[in-house]
Structure 1
């Protein structure tokens, strides 16, 4: 890198900021690579963060290197080498870090994700991507589900601890302690940093998919962070590339794409949420829909994500050839049958709620209200705004607009999402006598 004249420094600063933003992708790869070779989560995260900090300090003045990812990998690796030398660790880890230096220095190298175990000790790993190894490590069944999600957000998605704490409604210090305990649990239990094979893979894969599903949901729901949904899609794509032929992996990606295809049409001019039937479907992402449909086998699957993806596909394929599609074109009878099958696999309160809504559209609001009453009988949906909103919608379709308006207002008092609250109050206003 060469020093820049003063009059070029403003432009260089903008270029450096853009490069630093793009380097966020390299951060996860660097952390994953350093965890693999050192086994020390804190060391890996600290070295990667120090590399990013140094880049923000030096690049505006010195210019952006030709290979920003390689530069970051080299700096982080050197920090790790210095730390390990001071700690007098075994030679193997230093030798493996030397391999990372080779990878970082190669032309076009972004990080060490292409380094395989075969390069280190002659063994072969069927999946040689450090990020995928890291996902499976974060999602080990020895960790509680909440710890898996938090660790995934922090380590794989580089979400600040403050934001994770806010999402889980706890203090930053509490979340820091939880993350520390999760990492220590991985070390104490000797959880291997790898993608398992054979029966272990079958056992662990559902946990990985569940975490990705929660990650996507956290980004897709009203008031969520869209970057979470996009990261879940990226990780699901990675899984489909590195684990071809897994029907539920393909189905999960298809489900994400179908749901995310509606993101531009979900809000009205005032920023309020629009129900599915009120969305301008010409604004849906048709390329994403086509990609998702290609992932779903024609014969159909009975896995939970495949069933949910096929439900979402029913909405997507209701589109006419042009313009706004009426919700009446949706095949609600097929959706109701799919929810029947899904409820047998996963009889959760939320799935029973959605099943009641589907039957209400397919077979009339009276049947939907009856199924909804059964779903709410156990009390698990008490205080859940979407359950109250579903009752309001079915009640309106049954003809009792006054009660429906009151229910929509009640749902509005229960939600913590301002866009949801505005949408519910709008429905109440439309129905009020």
Structure 2
């Protein structure tokens, strides 16, 4: 059922802590299920992509994507592409479902803020934090910390975006020291699929969310490659279509073009390279799963537009400064006085042998917060409403 270059369940390198094989599920089906049932996965429901989730906001609502809805979309795309290429869909799905577990509250803004706060103690990286979550911070099983995922899933989480050169983020170095993830090589094709699926999903839904928020209009997209032609095709086939249907029809075409391009390019590259096994995929000089060069250039233009009109829109930048100020207030307070955290966390922080290790415990706690909880903690610790946090 699988191509020779796919990851085969019988050839899995197994788990750090040995377990009996499941009667009904493959190793990567078990990984997928453990990820879905984890606490970190559930918290993705209230972690945001671009727009901060808080009550009373004039232009944000429940419609916009969260980390959870984004993750589900990525997993769906990953299964589609992996299936078309003869890859292991369960492994691709498991990596996709885990790829954003390490994101802190407030999207990339939160990551930037925590990276700056942790700069003296090894920094912060959401991919590395995802590994720390699935190997250490999820504490539900009797025989081990973490989820005890297979080597292939851990590899995919670590390097789905490509090989990683030293110096390693703290959390990644810790995991790699316990189990060599061969960070100098590429990941499996399944993990590469998850990475491209991530690009496809956010390119698609950020256009949706940006339009919905009013940060730009369909007219602003008319001259963009890929996007403008999609709207033009819908207008030709469905004149006078109502605005919401028109938007959906156009963007679903953009979505389809991206998926079909990746599949066609990968099929051609795999046929030309004829990799005999997954080891050959890992040893390649570059990723085997990618967009075509023309589409990649078109997507660069789309990303450039989104960066200017959405990610750096004045209203979004104001909110970035706002939530950064909240994290800049909460993190040092907990670092200086761990008793401000819940009992289990404060005990671990107070037992830390030095300030660097204490900072890592505080980071684990803060990074695990949802947007709503981070706002509530700011209000509790400062006595000020979130609306009164400095905005830079």
- Structure having the higher helix fraction is 1
- Normalising by structure 1, we get a TM-score of 0.23
